[in-house]
Amino acid sequence: MAVIYALVTVFAWGIWLVPSQNVRFGGQQVRTFYVAAANLLAATIVAAALGFNKITPTVFWFPFAGGIVWSLGAWAAFTATEKLGMVKANGTWAPLNIVVSVVLGAVFLHELMTLSAVTTVLLLVSIALIICGILMIVLSKGRGDNEKNRRFSLSGLACAVTAGVLWGAYYLPVKVSHATMWTAAFPLACGMFVGCSAIVLAFRQPLKLPEGNAYVRVASSGLLWALGNYGMLLMVESLGAGRGFTISQLALVVNALCGIYVLRDPEPHTISAKRMLIGCAIATIGAITLGNLK
Model pLDDT for residues 39-93, shown as the tens digit of each residue: 999 999 999 988 888 888 878 999 999 999 999 998 888 888 778 776 677 778 8
Band of pLDDT at residue 269, cut at 50, 70 and 90 = confident
CB contact at 8 A, 154 and 88: no
In the chain, where do the E strands start and end?
none
Task: With beta carbons less than 8 A apart as the criterion, state whether 248 and 232 touch.
Answer: yes
Asked if 255 and 40 count as a contact pair (C-beta separation under 8 A), the reply is: no
Most confident of 115-124, 135-144, 195-204, 248-257: 195-204
**Number of folded domains that form the chain:** 1
173: closest CA among 73, 60, 74, 76?
60
| Average pLDDT of the residues of the chain | 84
C-alpha dihedral (94, 97, 98, 101), degrees to nearest 10? -170
* Cβ-based neighbours of 3, under 8 Å, separated by 6 or more: 291
Q: Using the 8-state DSSP alphabet, how is residue 294 labeled?
A: -
pLDDT of 8 reads: 93
Cβ contact 201:71 at 8 Å: no
The answer to whether 105 and 237 have CB atoms below 8 angstroms apart is no
Q: Given this model, what pLDDT does residue 249 score?
A: 81
33 — pLDDT class (breaks 50, 70, 90): very high
CA distance to 36, 69, 172, 231, per residue, from 194 (Å): 9, 11, 19, 22
Percent of the chain at pLDDT > 90 equals: 23
Per-residue confidence (pLDDT) for residue 54, from 0 to 100: 81
Q: What 3-state class would DSSP assign to 177? A: coil
Q: Which of 31-40, 170-179, 185-194, 261-270 has the lowest mean pLDDT?
A: 261-270
Indicate the SS3 state at residue 161.
helix
pLDDT band at residue 188, thresholds of 50, 70 and 90? very high
Q: Which segment, 5-14, 187-196, 231-240, is predicted with the most confidence on average?
A: 187-196
**pLDDT number for residue 144:** 45
Instruction: Identify the DSSP state of 53.
Output: G
pLDDT at 165 (0 to 100): 92
Distance CA 10, CA 203 (A): 31
- What is the pLDDT at residue 150? 53
Buried b (16+ CB within 10 A) or exposed e, 173-205: bbbbbebebbbbbbbbbbbbbbbbeebbeeeeb
pLDDT in tens, 100-159: 888 887 777 777 667 788 888 888 898 899 888 888 887 776 544 454 445 567 888 899
What is the pLDDT at residue 189?
95
Q: Note down the domain range covering 31.
A: 2-291
pLDDT at 143: 47
CA angle 88, 89, 93 (to 5 degrees): 120
Contact 294, 50 (CB under 8 A): no
Q: How many Cα atoms sit within 13 Å of 84 on the Cβ side?
A: 24
Mean pLDDT, residues 248-275 taken together:
83
247 pLDDT higher than 80:
yes
